[in-house]
Amino acid sequence: MLTRRNFIEQAIITPIQAVAAAKVFSLFPINYKPKVIIIGAGLSGLAAGYLLSHKGIDLTVLEARSRLGGRVYSQTIDENENLAVELGAEWIGASHQRVISLCQELGLELHNNQFNTHLLYQGKYFRQNEWDFSDACNNKLDNLLQAYSNLSEANKMKLDKIDLWRYLVDNGIKDKDLDFIELIKSTDFGESIRFASAFLALDEYVESQETYHMDYKIKGGNSKLAKTLAEKIGRDKILLNRQVVAIEQTGRSVIITCANGDKLAADKVICTLPTTVMKDIRWNPVLPADKLEAIDALQYSRINKYATLYNRRFWQDESFDLITDGPAHYFYHATKNQVSTKGALVSYTIGDKADIFARQSNAGRNALVESALKPIFGDTEQYALKQINHYWGNDEFARGSYAFYGKNQWFNIRPILQRKFKHVHFAGEHIADWQGYMEGAIETGEAAVAAILG
């Protein structure tokens, strides 16, 4: 059965590519170990570097930022009590076996990060278990999911051409049920379900358990995984503040040029950059036309995270989260399992709402947060101590949070983006089976190493 979970297994390396790779390696002496440069010190690049270091391969990691982790970005919001929030990647799912095993291998502890979802809708507050879809909607969803499981591969590809909102409307989902699905699923996609592929949404429902993507996070912050991987690789092999501006491939070598003028040579390159910045590089020879078109076609979701530290946890539920139909959209307790009387809530906004939040001053964002929480908790502004905001759309080296595959893209442009170009292999969450997650970033980094080493 063709699903987004196994599609990458078919796409990673074709028989023709395998033969071509064998011919390339036959040019080198037996036991030859290639020099590898990895572009990007996010989880994809660091996972690749960690695996290469185990193989005794000479490697260098180039990172444009002054920090490790890429879109994994933990921030300490209270220094005295060591309270951390995630401004980037937040959740590890119970189904994310590679990242879980890697954390075990590196001695990193996982904490439960599941939540009890409350709802604020049309001015009314509903606690956990006080709201649900209508019985008619639940029955229709069950029927749609059962029908999806029996679809042929060709029909699944047709389903990829329909947006989720239209698919639900055509199948009789309406009114508040449609609103609930929009509010909940848009937080997964980072954009409205009016733009999301119906195939990807249904596949996510069918192939995953209920809390598959919102189960754990790393004690002390998810950035600890990046930092620990970097220590294992060797900090001397990781060069920060090295933005790559040119890649030249001649014969069997690759020359990398950085913005500061540094030039480095390698036999193989693993490029883990988001497509939003990949095209800024001067490629010689230029990337194939279909890859350039795919890079232009792929969009990245708009997500803004606004964390507020409070002097008390007035929500009185360690597993509190809240879906709202207002501009603040979604709240969750960001300091769960961190011992303190203080605590932080994050307002997680997507799409147009994220743009609105990003354009506000802190006073404006505070007002939006306060107006959302006031119907439930009264005056919360009196408890506020500090705020941190990060909008990934304005991030210089990402220009978006994670890749967003729209209609008719999963089966068409992803294989093109995944395909290597001469001596440059590609990795990153945007081409992953677990697309949009830390699991996917790690898996594709390791897959690139496997392709290079044959």
Confidence (pLDDT) at 2: 44
Q: Closest Cα partner for 305 from 341, 332, 324?
A: 332
- Calpha distance 52→450 (Å, rounded): 9
Bridge partners (DSSP) listed for residue 126: 119
pLDDT given at position 127: 94
Q: Which of 258, 344, 288, 372 shows the shortest CA–CA distance to 78?
A: 344
What pLDDT, on a 0 to 100 scale, did the predictor assign at position 7?
Answer: 39
Distances, alpha carbon 320 to alpha carbons 133, 187, 273, 283, 333, in Å:
20, 16, 34, 48, 6
Q: Cβ neighbours of residue 222 under 8 Å, at least 6 residues apart?
A: 69, 72, 74, 86, 88, 89, 90, 92, 438
Task: Judge whether 427 and 45 are in contact, CB under 8 Å.
Answer: yes
Res 220: pLDDT: 96
Residue 149: the pLDDT is 85
Please give the torsion angle defined by the CA atoms of residues 414, 298, 327 and 168, in that order, rounded to the nearest 10 degrees. -50
Strands 83-86 and 74-78: antiparallel
Distances (CA, A) of 253 to 133, 248, 265, 381: 58, 8, 7, 59
* 314 token code pair: 């007035």
Average pLDDT of adjacent 10-residue blocks, the chain of 454 residues: 44 35 42 90 98 96 98 97 97 94 98 95 94 94 90 94 96 96 93 94 70 84 98 98 97 96 98 96 97 97 97 96 96 97 98 95 96 96 97 95 95 97 98 94 98 91
Question: What pLDDT, on a 0 to 100 scale, did the predictor assign at position 214?
Answer: 83
* pTM across the whole model: 0.91
User: What pLDDT, on the 0 to 100 scale, is given for residue 41?
Assistant: 98
pLDDT of residue 203: 85
Phi-psi region of 62 (alpha: psi -120 to 50; beta: other; left: phi over 0): beta
Asked whether 394 and 388 are in contact (CB, 8 A), the reply is no
Q: What is the pLDDT of residue 11?
A: 38
Q: What is the pLDDT of residue 30?
A: 52
Please give the Cα distance from 351 to 329 (Å, whole number).
10
